[in-house]
Amino acid sequence: ETGVTQSPTHLIKTRGQQVTLRCSSQSGHNTVSWYQQALGQGPQFIFQYYREEENGRGNFPPRFSGLQFPNYSSELNVNALELDDSALYLCASSRTDSETAYEQYFGPGTRLTVT
C-alpha cells in the first residue's frame, strides 16, 4: 500500500510569484484535503477535493486554488504569493463513502518559504 506523498519537500519563492504543490493520495483513497500549518499552530483547512470537484473550503482567498485528477492525485496552486504564505502545506487523503471516512492519512508536507 503506497502512502501519501508530496512534492517538492522544500520550496523558496519570491513574493508575487506563483507556486504549485503536488500530492499523491494513498492507494484506494478518493478524497484529498489540503492544510496550511504556520509555525507553532495547528493545520488550517484550505479545501477538500472529492471526485475531482471542490467539496468544501476554509477561510482562504481565491488565489488558493486546487485540482484533483482522475487518479485522485491533487495540486494546490497559490498565486501572488505573500510573505504570510510561508508555512508547511499538508495534504491528507481519505476514503469518502467508507466506514473509515474520518481517517485521514497525511503526507510529509511541503515547506514553502516566501521571501
Partner 1 sequence: SQELEQSPQSLIVQEGKNLTINCTSSKTLYGLYWYKQKYGEGLIFLMMLQKGGEEKSHEKITAKLDEKKQQSSLHITASQPSHAGIYLCGADISAPKSTFGDGTTLTVKP
Q: Residue type at 67?
A: L
22 binds partner 1 (CB under 8 A): no
**3-state SS, one letter per residue, for 1-35:** CCCCEEECCEEEECCCCCEEEEEECCCCCCEEEEE
Rg of the chain over Cα atoms, rounded to whole angstroms, equals: 13
Q: Confirm or reject binding of residue 7 to partner 1 (CB under 8 A).
A: no
106 is a contact residue toward partner 1 (CB under 8 A): yes
| Sole binder of partner 1 in the list 25, 104, 112, 114 (CB under 8 A) | 104
How deeply is 22 buried, as exposed, middle or buried, from its count of CB atoms within 10 A (0-12, 13-18, 19+)?
middle
Of 55, 60, 75, 86, the one binding partner 1 by CB under 8 A = 55
User: Measured from the CB of residue 52, what is the shortest distance to partner 1 in angstroms?
Assistant: 15
Nearer to partner 1, 62 or 102 (CB): 102
CB of 16 to partner 1, least distance (A): 26
